Structure 1
Amino acid sequence: MAGISAQSSVEHYENFPVASILMPRRYRKAVAAVYHFARHADDLADEGDAAPEQRLAALAECHAELTRIEAGEAPQTARYRALAPVLTQYQVPVALCHDLISAFEQDVVKTRYADFGELVQYCRRSANPVGRILLHFFGERDERKLAMSDGICTALQLINFWQDVAIDWQKDRVYLPQDEMARYGVTDQQIAAGKADGAWRQLMAFQVDRTRRMLQAGAPLAMQLPGRIGLELRLTVLGGDAILTKLQQAQYDMFRHRPTLGASDWPRLLWRALRKR
């Protein structure tokens, strides 16, 4: 599950149809408030040329604003003043927002992941809170549904990593688990050279297969949510699966063929999402 498409001070490519016209109008203001909070914090970690200590200090201020909300105090910035009533109205645990910021802090200081477990723990804070926040908006707090949402969100985060291997390398970040890279004989130097050889394709085929299974495991949630909410989630899941298929069709050479979803993809995916109901 994902946030709402919008513009901030930095232009962002959004993979999935997040809170498009499919999102019921009554939720759009709340989703926008969460999006702008998360997008701003993510930009503090990623964009511009600030030093790491400056980025961490700015993110600490985000934590401080959330702490004010928890204490029932007025936030100091407009962005958090818009967020506060949303969290209160929908009884969203503020800890979910703290988790998101902690993931952005981790991006500032951590550039490699020893194994898949470490990567999943990062996704637990960088992606899963978004789905859980949305489920709170929809009044869904069943633990099984939350777990399925986590599976979808983690898979979508991994899909972003796999399509953005080359982009992340420019930031000196490698999200591929180091032990699995070693198992398949893939090195950082190979990523730097953009070499999609047999070893690389085997590694990425393994990643894509595991990610698709995670996405499919959570997909039944989209059939359990009502109306346009369920339709949007089905479309999002289908979009994620389509990116994985494009990766396979490109022989996992995202260095030269970064897979994206274009205008011609969405009508077909929407038709499939509608038929699934």
Structure 2
Amino acid sequence: MKTDSTDHHITLKSNSSFLYSFFFLPREKREAIYTLYAFCRQTDDIVDREGPIEKRLRQLNRWEKELTRCFVNRVSNYFDTLKQVAERFRIPFEHFLELIAGMRMDLCHLSYRSFEDLKLYCYRVASTVGLMCIQIFGYRDPEIREYAVNLGIALQLTNIIRDVGADARMGRVYLPQEELAHFQVSREDIFEQRYTPNFYRLMDFQARRAREYYRLAGEHLPPGERKNMLVSEIMKNIYWKLLHKIEQEHFRVLDRSVRLSTPTKVWTALSTASQIQFGLAR
């Protein structure tokens, strides 16, 4: 199975933290991940590009229709390589549709009423990607699926915490409305970048919940599957450090973007790999 060079370009150009984990995969699996990541990136780009929401919804619907034509109706098109990956690693087609449904939520919802609503969004845009990835990584214990679901939610919650300010500048507030009301933080407080005591309490609550999902992911990772999940564990440790840094910087996320340095990401990837390969991981 050969990956389209475009997939390599899209993946490498993204400069995602995930790149630091992909290099530890054998070639066939790495190329499959590149193809999957390129699909996810391009789907996300449809949502994030400029233009009327109605136009982006039409583009997303066409994207889904073409994907279905290739996977279900077996019409050869742009998604041929992705279909080969899905067939080779037995990735259920439903996961792709769930991801697109999550992206559609991004266009139709600028906010979420409750955490249950937000959790569904996190599942669709992140956990489904994890469920697709574990098919490529390979596993034997079905409990790994719960690991992927919880880790996906943890990673997405970390993204939401990091991007509160950036999302607000696009008119989006992912933090649940019920929790904003509980902590007495208004949408205007976020739009106006007001670092109030209530805002800090709200963000501390968000961080503690994200940590709980990291813990749940760890509970569902059997020791015998750690090596298979090396890539996921690298992602987890990088994002865990990012969350810790956000906390150390007192949630200054409204007017800046907290990032990890490249050396920190590389060191985290290498140290995680060495710990797991030599059985030192907890």
TM above 0.5, yes or no, is yes
Given candidates 19, 41, 53, the residue that maps to 2:43 is: 41
**Residue aligned with 1:186, SS:** coil
**Residue aligned with 2:262, SS:** coil
| 1:23 lines up with 2:25 in the alignment | yes
The Cα shift of 1:15 comes to: 3.4
Looking at structure 1, the residues matched to 14 and 35 of structure 2 have their Cα atoms a distance apart, in angstroms, of: 17
The Cα shift of 1:267 comes to: 4.6
Could you tell me which residue of structure 2 aligns to residue 69 of structure 1? 70
Could you tell me which residue of structure 2 aligns to residue 14 of structure 1? 16
Q: Alpha carbons of 1:226 and 1:155: their partners in 2 closer, same or farther (altered >3 Å)?
A: closer
The amino acid across from 1:201 in the alignment is Y
| Paired residues of 1:161 and 1:175 also in contact (CA < 8 A) | yes
Q: Alpha carbons of 1:94 and 1:206: their partners in 2 closer, same or farther (altered >3 Å)?
A: same
The Cα shift of 1:223 comes to: 4.4
The Cα shift of 1:108 comes to: 1.1
Q: Alpha carbons of 1:234 and 1:222: their partners in 2 closer, same or farther (altered >3 Å)?
A: farther
Could you tell me which residue of structure 1 aligns to residue 115 of structure 2? 116
The Cα shift of 1:247 comes to: 1.2
| Paired residues of 1:222 and 1:233 also in contact (CA < 8 A) | no
Q: Alpha carbons of 1:224 and 1:116: their partners in 2 closer, same or farther (altered >3 Å)?
A: farther
Looking at structure 2, the residues matched to 224 and 46 of structure 1 have their Cα atoms a distance apart, in angstroms, of: 39
Looking at structure 2, the residues matched to 132 and 121 of structure 1 have their Cα atoms a distance apart, in angstroms, of: 15
Could you tell me which residue of structure 1 aligns to residue 268 of structure 2? 269
More displaced 10-residue stretch of structure 1: 132-141 or 174-183: 132-141
| Paired residues of 2:184 and 2:198 also in contact (CA < 8 A) | yes
| Paired residues of 1:235 and 1:270 also in contact (CA < 8 A) | yes
Q: Alpha carbons of 1:262 and 1:176: their partners in 2 closer, same or farther (altered >3 Å)?
A: same
Could you tell me which residue of structure 2 aligns to residue 57 of structure 1? 58
Looking at structure 1, the residues matched to 44 and 199 of structure 2 have their Cα atoms a distance apart, in angstroms, of: 29
| Paired residues of 1:155 and 1:215 also in contact (CA < 8 A) | yes
Looking at structure 2, the residues matched to 68 and 223 of structure 1 have their Cα atoms a distance apart, in angstroms, of: 40
Could you tell me which residue of structure 2 aligns to residue 94 of structure 1? 93
Between the aligned residues of both structures, percent identity stands at 25
**Residue aligned with 2:208, SS:** helix
| Paired residues of 1:128 and 1:150 also in contact (CA < 8 A) | yes
Query: How many residues in Structure 1 have an aligned counterpart in Structure 2?
Result: 269
The amino acid across from 1:71 in the alignment is V
More displaced 10-residue stretch of structure 1: 34-43 or 229-238: 229-238
Looking at structure 2, the residues matched to 18 and 223 of structure 1 have their Cα atoms a distance apart, in angstroms, of: 23
What TM-score does the superposition give when structure 2 sets the normalisation length?
Answer: 0.87
Q: Alpha carbons of 1:224 and 1:260: their partners in 2 closer, same or farther (altered >3 Å)?
A: farther
Gaps of 5+ in 1: none
Q: Alpha carbons of 1:155 and 1:66: their partners in 2 closer, same or farther (altered >3 Å)?
A: same
The Cα shift of 1:13 comes to: 4.9
Looking at structure 1, the residues matched to 21 and 75 of structure 2 have their Cα atoms a distance apart, in angstroms, of: 28
Gaps of 5+ in 2: 1-6
More displaced 10-residue stretch of structure 1: 134-143 or 38-47: 134-143
The amino acid across from 2:23 in the alignment is I
